[in-house]
Amino acid sequence: MKVAISRDGALDYCREAPFHPPEMYPEYPFHDLCPDNNVYAAVRRLLFALGMDRERYGSSTWNPLGELIKQGDHVAIKPNLVGHRNKAGTLECMIAQGSVARAVLDYVHIALKGTGKITICDSPQMETDFAAVVRATGIGEIVRFYEGQGAGITVADLRKVEGHVRKIGGVKWNALQGDPMGYRVVDLKGDSEHMDIIDDCGKFRVADYDRHEMLKHHNREKNEYYISGSVLDADVIVSIPKLKTHDKAPAPTRRAATSTSGATGARAWSSACGKRWPPPTACCASCP
């Protein structure tokens, strides 16, 4: 596994959607620019630092994701969208930024060379207004820009239901359209990390979802997940996690792993326990 870091103490997120690059890079397939978008430049530096298509860097044929993405592929881009509001502060500290997603999307587009399919998707927290978080991240404007270039992109809320905690108790559930490509049940059985603590499966929890539903799918016989068809159909999955601390993860670097829970259509089936954290005496919850 290769790791690269682009460090710039003065770097800040661009807030001018759809987040065009700051200059006309040789490989850039469009013409629009945004001089203040230094995030795009940082993502570009990261791809070079990873050694991706290094020989052609600086030329119009530079295709850093070409080693991973082939013409005709279905690419699922999964940003961490979590929620549309943060009661404790701003959204920027909580969700993946559209300025990062746009740079990644451009290089996916370059690799596909006008073929294949791109899906931007996530399964955020149950109370999330998906349309609102798409607006807040600027993803909606990114998609409209691409449509104007003749390139269609699917944006999908992978949840089957959304829920709102009621002041009188309980949760009000509303059915959603869900993944246009449907869902599949994936049973990890004994290969699940849960097996180390499966005797405590009665304690498994996930936010305000039905704990009895959880127990139906995580027990001594099975460890089932309800996975998005858009994710399972993809030839390549590009995860865009948000580096942050989390109450269910002891280190911010675990966000890349916990972000994958956004591939499920039924969070009531999702438990994010590992061997050492949380301890068996604690309740287990799915991270957004």
Note whether residue 172 is domain-resident.
Answer: yes
Note whether residue 279 is domain-resident.
Answer: no
Number of domains in the chain: 1
177-220 pLDDT tens trace:
999 999 999 999 999 988 999 998 888 877 777 788 888 999 99
DSSP letter (8 states) at residue 263: G
Note whether residue 24 is domain-resident.
Answer: no
117-135 pLDDT tens trace:
999 999 998 899 999 999 9
Range of the domain at 160: 38-269
Q: pTM of the entire structure?
A: 0.87
Give 205's Cβ-side CA count (13 Å radius). 9
135-156 pLDDT tens trace:
999 999 999 999 999 999 999 9
β-bridge pairing 236-240 and 74-79? parallel
Note whether residue 10 is domain-resident.
Answer: no
Note whether residue 122 is domain-resident.
Answer: yes
Note whether residue 6 is domain-resident.
Answer: no
Residue 195 φ then ψ, to 5°: -60, -25
Note whether residue 275 is domain-resident.
Answer: no
Q: CA nearest 266: which of 195, 209, 218?
A: 209
Note whether residue 226 is domain-resident.
Answer: yes
Q: Which residues share a beta bridge with 185?
A: 226
Mean pLDDT of all residues belonging to the chain: 87
Give 143's Cβ-side CA count (13 Å radius). 17
229-271 pLDDT tens trace:
999 999 999 999 887 655 555 554 444 555 677 888 887 787 6
* Burial (CB count within 10 angstroms: exposed 0-12, middle 13-18, buried 19+), residue 31: exposed
